[in-house]
Amino acid sequence: MGALPSPQKTEEQKMIERGMESCAFKSLIACVGGFVLGGAFGVFTAGIDSNVGLDPKDPLRTPTAREVLRDMGQRGMSYAKNFAIVGAMFSCTECLIESHRGKSDWKNAVYSGCVTGGAIGFRAGLKAGVLGCGGFAAFSAAIEYYLR
């Protein structure tokens, strides 16, 4: 028994597929996802932090709900921006490396982790860049090993 033939894709379907497989689209999705997850993580960590809303000049004063919510929002936004940048950076470099190598394997994530971690770490110096490269690459390898 033969398989049923699949219908031909229209030009519109092909264009949408190409767009969704592009590095720009993948990076945008990672950026938005990182922003949402980072914001949620930031608000969560601010919620369990006992120092949120405290005034360093008067540590005995109880903070108002408005001050606590403002601090939670600020931390959430800070985490959201950082996660969005890291997500977009990692996704873009992984896609570009995969396109250049022509292979989809675990090495792409490791190389991308090294580039991303190194770029983030180099802001603090050469040693931090090298450690960031190694740490992010090792973390990416562990995640790839677990997922595949």
In the chain, where the domains are located: 20-91, 105-147
Local mean pLDDT, 10-residue blocks, the chain (148 residues): 77 85 93 96 88 77 84 94 96 94 92 96 95 96 91
**Rounded CA separation 140/130 (Å):** 15
Helix axes of 126-147 and 106-121: crossing angle, nearest 10 degrees: 150
Determine the pLDDT at residue 123. Answer: 92
- pLDDT for the residue 61: 79
- Give the pLDDT of residue 14: 83
pLDDT at 21: 87
Cα 72 to Cα 63: distance, rounded to the nearest angstrom? 13
This prediction has a pTM of 0.82
Contact indicator for 116, 89 with CB cutoff of 8 Å? yes
pLDDT at residue number 2:
63
